Chain A
Amino acid sequence: MLGAGGGTSSYEEIETTDLIVLWGSNAREAHPIFFHHLIKGVRNGAKMYAVDPRRTSSAQWADTWLGIDVGADIALANAVGREIIHAGLANRRFVEHSTSGFDAYAAAVEPYTLAEAERITGVPGDAIRQLAHDYATAGTAQICWTLGITEHHNATDNVLALIDLALLTGHVGRYGSGLVPIRGQNNVQGGGDMGALPNKLPGFQDIDDPVARGKFEALWGVAVPPEPGLHITLMFDAMERGDLRALYVIGENPAQSEADAARVRRLLGELDFIVCQDIFLTKTAEMADVVLPAAASWAETNGTVTSSERRVQRVRKALDPPGEAKDDIEILSLLADRMGFGWGYPTAEEAWDELRSLSPMHAGMAYRRLEELGGIQWPCPDEDHPGTQFLHGWLWEDPLPRDPAPFVPVVYAPPVDELSDDFPVRLTTGRRLDSYNTGVQTGGYRSPIRAGGVIDIDPADGGAWGVADGEVVRVSSRRGSIELPARYHDSLRPGLVFISVHNPDDADVNQLTIDAWDPKSGTAEFKATAVRIEKLPA
């Protein structure tokens, strides 16, 4: 596996690449800024594939849309890999020079014939073959994905299956080619970069690496625990066991954003103590013992954000926050004071300079340089370094400076929540252009394109079930049941329905979703739920 942490390519490259494979992403609606860059690439002549169960508004830009079954991504990817190998289109020189484990990979994908992949994925074999040939023969190509790949019980395996394709064809580590997980907010990337991961210190330094830990301990004057913390899914398991009794929530709304919401709210309600630090009074904040009003990071605070292309950029304070709201750094410093640590009150730049002294990939990013260069892409190890436009260029060096990148064969496993006679319909979830996540930041604004809390169904299903467009139906899964209006929508197909995550108050989709989660990444399988749709009694 390639060293993880960020997309390999920069936005500029998707504007000039030859082939774009948008896999499990409705970026047109969920990542509109990135999609603008993607559109430039398409306008510049890039061919585009979209792999998505729904024919989304993103997929409508694609030259070819593959309407895959939910959760069948590995079968499709492995079939693409097999076809590339059998057609003699693998980049043999790159595979021999820069990778390891090819033979095992080739053996692992061998069962995934086009016919077998068609059976599993529902996508015609010819279309899979065409994707394989176009991807392998493109001069440059990028695979871009988001939650359609990662909100599954086997999220990490899904990603690995895509990485294997890049290794097979040499579409990584050079200008224009790459692997691009698109990030949500303007600073999701920055959150991970800064160590908001249970097993990482800032700059993706491993918590169990004593040398890395030692640097932090020396500067901070405290011992850093060597054990990884808990990711959010494990936190709820710990609550269930009674091991976790208090929660400090900063800028999250787990009461509405997590799978199997009824359980989540029960567990939150049973905690001894909740502190919530947010710019809005979220549902989670309503359950908290203490709410700390925070300043908005945009326009009310100084600092940096990091985009999907690993570019660290400055944000500047223009307004004083309203009321008692305070900058996050100030809140944390005040809290440290009360706890008897006395950090003082560092400015955003002072905190950033401390980070630069500890995180090698940020070392060269002085505020002055961030301003001069209009942001810098990590890694940037010193103040003479221009930043890094694309990652893994070392794969093309000769001799190779590190161990070759390993193929990691993966096996298709269907979604955990199986379809049955009682729950015959596949429900998937996602985002719309007009709203953001649980609606905390967008629900207060009107939008002419807002569909609200509806379940999108294929018109043919509507006919078969006797459900009219706009009719309120009951949707039930093995965990819960909600009632909401059905909306006919052409992006679906018979047997596939969709609910957005934006309306937890009147379309609480996480009452239905399963909390099966990927043990390697901790993400839950929001994308695949088995449901049944029933008409309400007259």
Chain B
Amino acid sequence: MDAAPTAAERAAVDELVGPPAGEGRVAFAGFHQAAAQRHLLLPTLQAVQRAIGWVSPGALNYLCERLIVPPADAYGVATFYSLLSTEERPALVVHECTDIACTAGTLTAGAHASPCLGQCEQGSAVFVQEAGRPDRAIAPAPPEVIAALLRGDDVTPERSPPLRHPGPLTRRIGNYDPSDADGYRAVGGFAALEAAKSMGAAQVIAEVKASNLRGRGGAAFPAGVKWEAAAAEPARPRYLAVNADESEPGTFKDRILMEEDPFAVVEAALIAAFATGASHIYYYVRGEYPTAAARLTDAIEQCAGLVDGVTAEVRLGGGAYICGEETALFNSIEGFRGEPRQKPPFPTQAGLFGKPTVVNNVETLVNVLDIVTGGGAAFAGVGTEQSTGTKLFCLSGAVERPGLYEVPFGTSLRELLDLAGGPGDLRAVLLGGAAGVFVGPDALDAPLTFEGVRVIGATLGSGVVMPFDDSADMGRILRRIAEFFRDESCGQCVPCRVGTVRQEEVLERLLAANGDRAEHTALLDDIARVMVDASICGLGQTAAGAVQSALRLGLVDGTPR
């Protein structure tokens, strides 16, 4: 309770918070300073974790003293994030992806199991935390690589090409050095920002509305409507939050955009800020994406001052899937547990720090560049009426060439799988990730559009297309999905907190049962209905979709229901 910080712990905190103000007989540090600093809580916890390898009681006490946060409150935040450890542990920790696209359950001795690390096109991955060193994401990470890492050796495995099928959105990838602003300019960069400035904020919003650009993070909300709503709010300041907390298992598209084309992300965000009157941009980047965060940070610095009055910073996630939910993301940035908020109020009315906030997914934003330069109407000419433009699909699993595929909306699932070398003995395709659904071979001719997959009871979600062949152990896949939601439920609302646990338990009984499984499937349906009807956010509402669809397709026992 009274644990004191070490010099290293103090230094890690002071580097972010600054040295204590006042000394001797005066101190300037009260509630108002505390409230103004609260948003530093997660970055400070992360700094301590990075510096000493865990969040010790002494460090926690010191950062609570400096940020004026009650220790119990800060402990609640620290324990919310899986990348923070409040227990002492070895200086070197290797998190190995054991999720559905990778090894799905097998874990190398000495490594920690991790949910999907967003490196699915590489087939295996680890995320390495080491005291005193920057975090590292390493993929592919076969057992011999993991063994070397655990020995303390540095290894840089050969990566397979991430982008397999380029299109307008991804055309710059591989054609410039992602650390070089001039290189970006040479491939046409910054033209959109110039165009936006000359046409004015209102016209930019008009073009985005005309394009019918819909959100690529999973909810498919029209971006222009969002921008217009935020721009109309009288409150100041306004914020732009770039949702780069890409955590949906099987998804890696935003990571590749940020790593390979960071200037496009930054330019697009600046256009969004310019159009909506946002004065500060938060890039909330998944904590397991250190390369993306570093390249983005570098690009932000090089682009500083391009739009007057707009500043920007990168915030790192802490290993919590739920923080991709927009209001959970706000709470995380503000220094609280990443628990979703009730809506309304909607983010455009009262978002970050209670101010009007636009939240856009990375892929959504990058589309804005061509909308501004080519016009909204031209953009809307690609795809279908409801689903305009192109879409990035993340292919992994049973395909010959896993990676990123950009195709126009309306491309059929069969065409996409053919591009990637899909399996001959296709059993099912998981669309949209863990929060999505399985579809069978009969869905291969469905057009991949927002409206087209709805007809077959599916969703595009974040663009995951993960085929499974006859060799797949579907029981293990389903167990892993159920386990994932049980782990990632934030626990705030009962239907999800209890429902995800019960779902996993009932699924376990169902998989173990011989013969009649009707009782178990009925119970799973009941649980699913409660979660869909009564959960606060999308996590609980989608947590049963994959399991239910798999049972409907008979993926577990070969008998379709």
Contacts and interface: CB of A to CB of B under 8 A. Distances in A.
Interface of A: 39, 42-43, 47-48, 55, 59-68, 122-124, 127, 448-449, 493
B455 interface: no
B442 to A, nearest CB: 59
A62 B33 CA distance: 9
A63 B21 CA distance: 11
Nearest to A69: B25
Contact of A42 (B25, B27, B31): B31
B32 interface: yes
A59 B32 contact: no
Contacts of A123: 25-26
B20 to A, nearest CB: 11
A122 B25 contact: yes
Interface in B3-46: 22, 24-33
Contact of A55 (B1, B27, B31, B33): B27
A63 B22 CA distance: 11
Interface of B: 1, 22, 24-33, 68
A43 B31 contact: yes
A272 to B, nearest CB: 49
A123 B24 CA distance: 9
A64 B31 CA distance: 10
Contacts of B26: 64-67, 123-124, 127
Contacts of B27: 55, 59, 62, 64-65, 67
B25 A62 contact: no
Contacts of A64: 22, 26-28, 30
B25 A48 contact: no
B24 A62 contact: no
A433 B31 CA distance: 19
29 contacts: A39-B31, A43-B31, A47-B32, A48-B30, A48-B31, A61-B30, A61-B31, A63-B28, A63-B30, A63-B31, A64-B26, A64-B28, A64-B30, A65-B22, A65-B27, A65-B28, A66-B26, A67-B24, A67-B26, A68-B25, A123-B25, A123-B26, A124-B24, A124-B25, A124-B26, A127-B25, A127-B26, A449-B1, A493-B25
Contacts of B29: 60, 63
A122 B25 CA distance: 7
A63 B27 CA distance: 8
Contacts of B31: 39, 42-43, 48, 61, 63
A63 B25 CA distance: 14
Contacts, number: 53
A239 B1 CA distance: 47
Nearest to B68: A60
A63 B24 contact: no
Given A124-B25, A124-B26, A42 B32 contact: yes
Contacts of A66: 25-26
A67 B25 CA distance: 4
A67 B24 CA distance: 8
Nearest to A42: B31
A65 B29 CA distance: 8
A396 B28 CA distance: 35
Contacts of B32: 42, 47, 63
Q: Which of B1, B25, B27 has the most CB of A within 10 A?
A: B25
A55 B68 CA distance: 13
A189 to B, nearest CB: 27
Contacts of A68: 25
Contact of B24 (A60, A61, A493): A493
Contacts of A493: 24-25
Nearest to A65: B27
A48 B34 CA distance: 13
A67 B1 CA distance: 25
Nearest to A60: B68
A61 B1 CA distance: 20
A127 to B, nearest CB: 5
A263 to B, nearest CB: 35
Contacts of A60: 29-30, 68
A468 to B, nearest CB: 14
A141 to B, nearest CB: 16
Contacts of B68: 60-61
Given A63-B32, A64-B30, A67-B25, 8 more contacts: A60-B68, A61-B31, A64-B26, A65-B26, A65-B30, A67-B27, A127-B25, A493-B25
Contacts of A124: 24-26
A60 B29 CA distance: 7
A200 B31 CA distance: 41
Contacts of A55: 27
Nearest to A67: B25
Contacts of B33: 63
A123 B31 CA distance: 21
B371 to A, nearest CB: 42
A260 B1 CA distance: 34
Contacts of B1: 448-449
A127 B68 CA distance: 21
A185 to B, nearest CB: 26
A66 B30 CA distance: 12
A67 B27 CA distance: 8
A405 to B, nearest CB: 32
A127 B26 CA distance: 7
Nearest to A489: B2
Contacts of A122: 25
A481 B320 CA distance: 57
Nearest to A487: B2
Nearest to A48: B30
A48 B32 CA distance: 9
A322 to B, nearest CB: 36
A319 to B, nearest CB: 33
A39 B68 CA distance: 14
A507 to B, nearest CB: 18
Nearest to A121: B25
Nearest to A49: B30
Q: Which of B1, B29, B30, B33 has the most CB of A within 10 A?
A: B30
B58 to A, nearest CB: 13
A449 B32 CA distance: 26
- In order of increasing CB-CB distance, the 7 nearest A-B pairs are A67-B25, A63-B30, A65-B27, A62-B30, A127-B26, A42-B31, A61-B31
Nearest to A448: B1
A249 to B, nearest CB: 38
B496 to A, nearest CB: 30
A48 B35 CA distance: 14
A60 B28 CA distance: 9
A64 to B, nearest CB: 6
A426 to B, nearest CB: 14
Nearest to A50: B30
Contacts of B25: 66-68, 122-124, 127, 493
B509 to A, nearest CB: 41
Q: Which of B24, B31, B32 has the most CB of A within 10 A?
A: B31
B67 to A, nearest CB: 11
A43 to B, nearest CB: 7
Contacts of B22: 64-65
Contacts of A448: 1
Contacts of A61: 30-31, 68
B34 to A, nearest CB: 8
